[in-house]
Copies of this chain bind each other. A is one copy, B any other.
Amino acid sequence: MKTPGTSTRAEQREASRQSVLEAAAELFSHFGFEGTSMNSISDKAGVSKQNMIYYFGSKEGLWEEMLDWLFANVADSFDEVLYKGRSVDQISISDFIRAYFEVCRRHPAYVLIPMLEGVNDTWRSKMIAERYLSRHVGRFNRFVRACADRGEISDVEPLHLQNLAAGGAQLFLALAPIWKLAAGKDTTSEKFIREYAETVVRLLKPAS
């Protein structure tokens, strides 16, 4: 039996919020903050614009909630694909790269939004950097040092490695439309990304 009254309303509201967040992530990630209108989000989500603003307060508020929602989803995927309860010490650089590429493939907006926003120094860039990337960069640096100590990778500046390990797939995934047009290949397929991960892993192996 469905509980009547407030419970159903709350459920309805949550469902609407959810579909707005999904639509917002999709549109913001493709057209940027300025290039995305509240009309297009509400159309895509099937929620009236007025209610959407009522839920999220403003376009800025919606963007902010979308960001937190997105990064929470990504963190869940990371746990599922990579950590599975393991600690950082138990993860090899190959595992990391392969898993990272896979997570990026599953969450296009995770790749696209920092890419579109990171071009400028705005409140949105600041929010992405402060809430998420700073922690990410620090954690990655510690991970790289551990891998280097174990002799798993050749001696590479962590930031360079981060760019090689994470950035390459980001470009293939984010710029898939233009890669398709220019090179005629689908750079988002699971196979393509897996093979690229293998290339990167191979190049990073220390010359024994």
A residues lining the B interface (CB < 8 Å): 29-35, 112, 114-121, 125-126, 128-130, 133-134, 136-137, 154, 156-157, 159-160, 163-164, 167-168, 170-172, 174-175, 177-183, 185, 187, 195-196, 199-200, 203-204, 207-208
10 nearest A-B residue pairs (beta carbon): A118-B178, A129-B181, A34-B35, A133-B182, A118-B175, A121-B177, A129-B182, A167-B171, A207-B207, A160-B199
Taking CB atoms, residues of chain B closer than 8 Å to A203 are 154, 156, 164, 203-204
Partner of A175 from the list B115, B182, B196 (CB cut-off 8 Å) is B115
- In this complex, the member of A112, A160, A180 whose beta carbon has the largest number of chain B beta carbons within 10 angstroms is A160
Q: With the chains together, A154 CA to B187 CA distance in Å? A: 22
Taking CB atoms, residues of chain B closer than 8 Å to A157 are 195, 199
Taking CB atoms, residues of chain B closer than 8 Å to A163 are 168, 171-172, 196
> In whole Å, how far is A126's beta carbon from the nearest beta carbon of chain B?
6
> In whole Å, how far is A115's beta carbon from the nearest beta carbon of chain B?
7
> In whole Å, how far is A44's beta carbon from the nearest beta carbon of chain B?
15
Minimal Cβ-Cβ distance residue in B for A177 = B121
Given contacts A181-B125, A207-B207, contact A30 B164 (CB under 8 A): no
Q: Are B185 and A159 in contact (CB under 8 A)?
A: yes
Taking CB atoms, residues of chain B closer than 8 Å to A33 are 35
Given contacts A125-B181, A203-B154, contact A174 B119 (CB under 8 A): yes
